[in-house]
């Protein structure tokens, strides 16, 4: 059974208070953005001295180091670190499986709360956050915006997604292709999903090839995924496609399923390692704040 989710189920004062305790610390971000708290790869006018380079026509004369010219007889300009915002692109999964209530709280609650948490952490530190929910296709709710006031804007948009009808199947390939086509500035891409794409991890790996962003994969799991208790004669129905199959669940069938699920998790972990991405597992039936806190050990998550 699938059902929509209310605003009160998603967000409460205690959860919102917990967000202020976390920080998001990136080593470097791409250039081209507004002033913020991240050190950019671009070098220009800033505060912290970084290096010298030979003068070129058109350079700001105020950047010339005249003391160095007097010593070496050559003209060099001073380069400084430029601080810019970190664009955070948040992709929560809103496909049908996220809204399934048959085996506990729907995963969409953990998905959208995790999305708001990561958006709030960035916005509290002068970064820009954008919202790109997906199911069979990517939606562009809004491109990255900055400012603490955007947190409640995020919350309202996420609540509308929760209260709307679930999307169709999870389709990461067309969704990530659409994201790549937007030509967004390099930043942090956060995908929040169970990653149960019909094409498997291989499809995700292929879809990520043109994606230039650093990655945080938030995998939503529940205990029954790894160790289902179903047995006997059953009819299994795919909550997204509607496909059904009549099966007799035997210990051998369960063993094959557990092996397939373990392989799926191993492949996802391997993909994260190869992409130098962070993979965070979130148990949708456990306390979310405690689990998200693992990202922010010692006060910060370093990208």
Q: For 225-240, how does the pLDDT look when each residue is reduced to its tens digit (9 = 90+)?
A: 888 888 888 888 777 7
Asked whether residue 1 is assigned to any structural domain, the reply reads no
Q: Which range in 32-36, 288-292, 297-301 is most confidently predicted, on average pLDDT?
A: 288-292
Nearest to 198 by CA among 238, 159, 138, 237: 238
- Among residues 19, 53, 84, which one ends one of the domains? 84
Q: Which domain holds residue 22?
A: 7-30+85-302
CATH of residue 193's domain is 3.40.50.410
Q: How confident is the model at residue 26 (pLDDT cuts 50, 70, 90)?
A: very low
- Compute the distance between CA of residue 281 and CA of residue 290 in angstroms, rounded to an integer: 12
Does 25 map to a domain?
yes
Using alpha carbons, select from 168, 199, 10, 200 the residue that is nearest to residue 94: 168
Same domain, 139 and 90: yes
The number of domains in the chain is 2
- Pair 50, 159 in one domain: no
Query: Where does the pLDDT of residue 41 fall: very low under 50, low under 70, confident under 90, or very high at 90 and above?
Result: very low
- pTM value is 0.78
Q: Are residues 71 and 196 in the same domain?
A: no
Assess if residue 114 is contained within a domain.
Answer: yes
* Whether 265 and 284 share a structural domain: yes
Cα–Cα dist 294/299, whole Å: 10
Residues 61 and 166 in one domain: no
Residues 192 and 297 in one domain: yes
pLDDT at 222 over 50: yes
């Amino acid at each position: 059974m699938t059902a929509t989710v209310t605003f009160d189920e998603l967000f409460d004062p205690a959860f919102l208070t917990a967000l202020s305790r976390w920080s998001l610390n990136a080593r470097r971000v791409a250039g081209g953005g507004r002033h913020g708290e991240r050190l950019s790869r671009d070098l220009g006018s800033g505060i912290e001295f970084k290096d010298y380079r030979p003068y070129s026509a058109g350079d700001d004369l105020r950047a010339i180091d005249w003391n160095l010219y007097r010593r070496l007889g050559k003209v060099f300009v001073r380069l400084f670190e430029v601080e810019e915002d970190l664009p955070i692109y948040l992709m929560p999964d809103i496909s049908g499986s996220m809204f399934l209530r048959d085996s506990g709280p729907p995963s969409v609650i953990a998905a959208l709360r995790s999305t708001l948490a990561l958006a709030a952490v960035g916005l509290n530190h002068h970064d820009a956050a954008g919202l790109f929910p997906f199911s069979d296709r990517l939606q562009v709710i809004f491109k990255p915006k900055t400012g603490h006031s955007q947190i409640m804007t995020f919350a309202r948009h996420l609540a509308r997604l929760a209260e709307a009808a679930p999307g169709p199947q999870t389709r990461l390939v067309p969704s990530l292709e659409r994201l790549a086509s937007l030509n967004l500035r390099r930043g942090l891409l956060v995908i929040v999903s169970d990653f149960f794409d019909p094409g498997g991890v291989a499809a995700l790996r292929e879809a990520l090839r043109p994606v230039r962003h650093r990655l945080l994969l938030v995998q939503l799991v529940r205990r029954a995924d790894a160790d289902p208790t179903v047995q006997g004669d059953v009819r299994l129905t795919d909550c997204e496609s509607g496909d059904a199959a009549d099966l007799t669940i035997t210990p051998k069938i369960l063993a094959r399923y557990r092996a397939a699920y373990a392989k799926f998790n191993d492949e996802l972990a391997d993909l994260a390692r190869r992409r130098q991405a962070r993979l965070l597992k979130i148990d949708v039936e456990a306390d979310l704040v405690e689990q998200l806190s693992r990202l922010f050990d010692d006060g910060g998550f370093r990208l």
